[in-house]
Chains A and B, each alone.
Chain A
Amino acid sequence: MNRNTLRATALAALLATSALAAQATTIGLMAPLSGPQALVGQDQVDGFMLAVEQLGGKLGGQATSILKEDDQLKPEVGQQIVRKLIDKDKVDAIVGLSFSNVLMGSLPRLAESGVVAIATNAGPSPIAGAQCKPNVFSMAWQNDGAAEAMGKFAQDRGIKRVYLMAPNYQAGKDMLAGFKRYYKGEVVDEVYTQVNQPDYSAEIAQLQSAKPDALFVFYPGGMGINFVKQMSQAGLSGKLPLYSVFTVDGTTLPSLGETAAGAIGAAMYDASLDTPENRKFVTAFEAKYKRTPSLYAAAGFDAANVLDLGLRKAGGDPKKLAAAVKTAGGEFKSVRGPFKFGANNMPVQNYYAFETVRVGSKVATKQIGMPLAAHADSYAALCKLP
């Protein structure tokens, strides 16, 4: 073989690999990976990456490269990242999309581009309703779902007087509204606290003087850790039933320990959920990351599996991907049990009630009910998707 042939062969080989690379799938994965909510973002990423690893590094049977981006929980940063992923990296799909405010900020560009977007942490009411888009999905929940389930649970338990607390921002108001949509008893008081308030001593004193039968709170992240600890220190845990959403979950439980014992929460997923898919997922997640997966990790894991099935169905045609993902939602095996996308691309899924119980010197969660089965959100009627 002369030198020229060698060069030509090398060149051909190079071209062949780059042609292959061009065919490979590229997925953008955006989540808050720094700041106080980094834990929530990291769980989504870890869940997603675990599924990709189990699929042999391939999605839809194609070699896949994943571009991880940190939106810092800032809508303007999220917008830039989404624009970059779509225009420069030409991704096939974007997963994650952070909190509701970040997702809403990126919505116009997502809708215009038609790129499939799968949110693993948000399902704001506008996207569930009038502003729904054929290519924007939520793999997590419609935001009100868990609170509605908690309201139903309190109603079913025959709780007469409930005290409600949440931080003073949109999600806080949505959660309390969701609770009240299904709870018909007396609301003793509705208290909104400052966002990221560290100390709740004053509010806990007011709460004690109101003497309710139960308390419902929405305090995500560090706020929840502070609130639940301080409530327990005031001697209320065990005496005043605590119902919550996104407060006592897989991300906060390790920091709460037994102060959370007795707390009841509603969610679409918890690691203690007893399905064959979930047992496998939890074992694999714990083996890889040395911690228990949270509902955020489950949403990330499911998103990768839905995307995998969707890509197979679309057969490499990006125009068919959105419809394929929608069908895939009803066919793949979710770790949370039955799942499908509703007409508005929001989850139709069960919401379970979980109780935090003492197991020896540690705490664990236990499923104690299913207040809402195959629950669709209340905004779907406003969505005009076919």
Chain B
Amino acid sequence: MSAALLFVQLLNGLQYGVLLFLLAAGLTLVFGIMSFVNLAHGSLYMVGAYAAALTYGATGSFALAVLAAMVTALVVGLLLELTIVSRLYRRDHLDHVLATFGLVMFFNELVRLVWGPQPLFVQVPEVLAGTVQLFGFNYPSYRFAIIAVGLLVAVGSYGLIHKTRVGMLIRAGAQNPQLVGALGVNIGLLNAMLFGVGAMLAGLAGAMAGPLLSVQSGMGEPVLITTLVVIVVGGIGSVNGALYAALIVGVVDTLGRVLLPLALRQVAERSVADAAGPALASMLVYLLMAVVLALRPHGLFPARRS
């Protein structure tokens, strides 16, 4: 493989990584601070994608669509927190899984009832519809936009968590939520806010993914599974960890898909390599997770616990 192609593939990995980060940031905070397993995070991503697709279709403005996606996901997230999630914090993880899995089915069926099984059509915004020439490769401008948005959110969340009072509380909450509550911080409000922000970022991810992927019922589940891998690899509760892990997972998955079948062809017969390559590549991120769990059970970049 040429150096140029490798560079383009790294860029693809980076782009996939930042999209994963948008989802992982919210999920890891909710999981780390409230110890709440939220399988419905993928549904919030779908809510964002639908809100964006419908707004974009109605107004023709992609900026409005992204805004609508974030606001809708935020509102839906807060409603979920108030009505269902906040009642479950004290229950054990199995109850969380049962309740949020129920929500996943509810949202998928709701979307299918209202908008039907036909995926919605989302065009890339005109400004970003072109391609950029990179060493002889056409690289879609829109994917650069995703990278930019993702990195912006990463910088923003770093600032929020490390430079503000709320961020301090979040970090404190990740280490010892009981003590933070005992010190008189309204932990209920903090939880609701975090859940809302996580939902908003998931909505943003959904809006950004809309022009690339088919916007349809059930679109959240496959990406949620990879997101869970990201937060486990990164260390639960750590936003920095989520960023690094998302990038690692993005690059490993992308390069694995490309290089593994090629590498297998060197050692095995063509037909065997063609069959085994994609199968092994799809396992790669899970293998990575298993190795990380074996060597560093708290993840690669854990939120420091005393």
Residues of A in contact with B (beta carbons under 8 Å apart):
34-36, 38-39, 42, 168, 190-194, 196, 198-199, 201-203, 205-206, 208-209, 222, 225-226, 229-230, 233-236, 251-252, 254-257, 259
Contact = CB atoms under 8 A, between A and B. Distances in A.
Closest CB pairs A-B (n = 7): A38-B117, A225-B214, A235-B131, A235-B138, A201-B12, A233-B140, A168-B278
A199 B274 contact: no
Contacts of A222: 119, 214, 216, 219
Interface string B9-21: 1001101100000
A233 B124 contact: yes
B212 A208 contact: no
Given A38-B117, A201-B16, A206-B5, 14 more contacts: A190-B274, A192-B261, A192-B275, A193-B257, A198-B212, A199-B212, A201-B15, A201-B254, A202-B12, A202-B257, A222-B214, A229-B213, A230-B212, A233-B129
Given A39-B117, A39-B118, A203-B258, A198 B213 contact: yes
A199 B257 CA distance: 11
Interface of B: 1-2, 5, 8-9, 12-13, 15-16, 112, 116-121, 123-124, 129-131, 137-140, 142-143, 211-214, 216-219, 222-223, 254-255, 257-258, 261, 274-275, 277-279, 281-282
A225 to B, nearest CB: 4
A255 to B, nearest CB: 4
Contacts of A38: 112, 117
A292 to B, nearest CB: 12
Please report whether the interface of chain A is mostly helix, strand, loop or mixed according to DSSP: helix
A37 B5 CA distance: 35
Given A194-B278, A208-B138, A233-B142, A254 B118 contact: yes
Contacts of B142: 233
A209 B262 CA distance: 14
A202 B1 CA distance: 13
Contacts of B143: 201, 233
Most buried by A among B1, B12, B15: B12
Contacts, number: 112
A384 to B, nearest CB: 30
Nearest to A190: B274
Contacts of B112: 34, 38
Contacts of A251: 118
Contacts of A201: 12, 15-16, 143, 254
B2 A209 contact: yes
A235 B140 contact: yes
A39 to B, nearest CB: 4
Given A192-B275, A203-B257, A203-B258, A234 B214 contact: no
A202 B138 contact: no
A162 to B, nearest CB: 16
B154 to A, nearest CB: 20
Given A205-B137, A209-B2, A235-B138, A255 B214 contact: yes
A65 to B, nearest CB: 25
Nearest to A211: B136
A236 B140 CA distance: 10
A203 B8 CA distance: 11
B138 A209 contact: no
Given A222-B119, A226-B214, A255-B214, A192 B274 contact: yes
Contact of B138 (A168, A203, A229, A234): A234
Contacts of B5: 205-206, 209
